[in-house]
Amino acid sequence: MMNVLGKGQEMNIRRATPDDAGAPAREQTNGVLRKMKVRRYQLGEERAIWRVYYGSTRNIVGREYTREQVERWAPDSFDMENWKKRLAQKNPFVALIADKIVGFAELEPDGHIDRFYCHHRYQRQGIGSALMRALLAEAGRMGLTRLFAEVSTTARDFFLAKGFTIDEETNNIVCGCPAKQYRMSKQVNP
């Protein structure tokens, strides 16, 4: 059972299967049992989080968007100081397998989910689900009643699977490029 996390706290996350109630926190991936953990990010992890963002944007988001778009969203050169400031402000959750960061997710005080990315080599392995559970637990602690996000075409089906609904399809400018997105939301903690 997941519980609420505070800064600096940790919890073990496992992918739920029908017969694993009470089993230790483990992730079955490519035949290897691996432990996955979700916690708040820590200072010094900024470059590792950038690598997840960069790889996921270029390799996964890039399947649905143009090269120009993904190069703008995840440029080869970027300002590490700004990125550090951003992460300090967003205070994302990170998912780790064997101490390697394989995903991160940002929840803002009003229920807005900002960046939500999993490592491009660890897709469809329950990492996004683990991060979403952490956000939902945090939303409960914060007393939020609604979560919402501007979701890429790439992530739409994941958000639908997590009970979000599409409020609007948009074509806003994202980092200087028009991009099709979905405004999606979910009522929580009724």
- The contact set with ligand COA (CB under 6 A) reads 56, 60-61, 116-118, 123-129, 149, 151-152, 154-155, 157-158, 161
Q: How far is the CB of 52 from ligand COA (least distance, A)?
A: 8
Q: How far is the CB of 69 from ligand COA (least distance, A)?
A: 12
Q: How far is the CB of 76 from ligand COA (least distance, A)?
A: 18
Specify the residue for token string 């469809």.
124
Task: Give the nearer residue to ligand COA in terms of CB position, either 152 or 185.
Answer: 152
Task: Give the nearer residue to ligand COA in terms of CB position, either 94 or 149.
Answer: 149
Task: Give the nearer residue to ligand COA in terms of CB position, either 127 or 144.
Answer: 127
Task: Give the nearer residue to ligand COA in terms of CB position, either 43 or 173.
Answer: 173
Q: How far is the CB of 124 from ligand COA (least distance, A)?
A: 4
Distance CA 178, CA 170 (A): 9
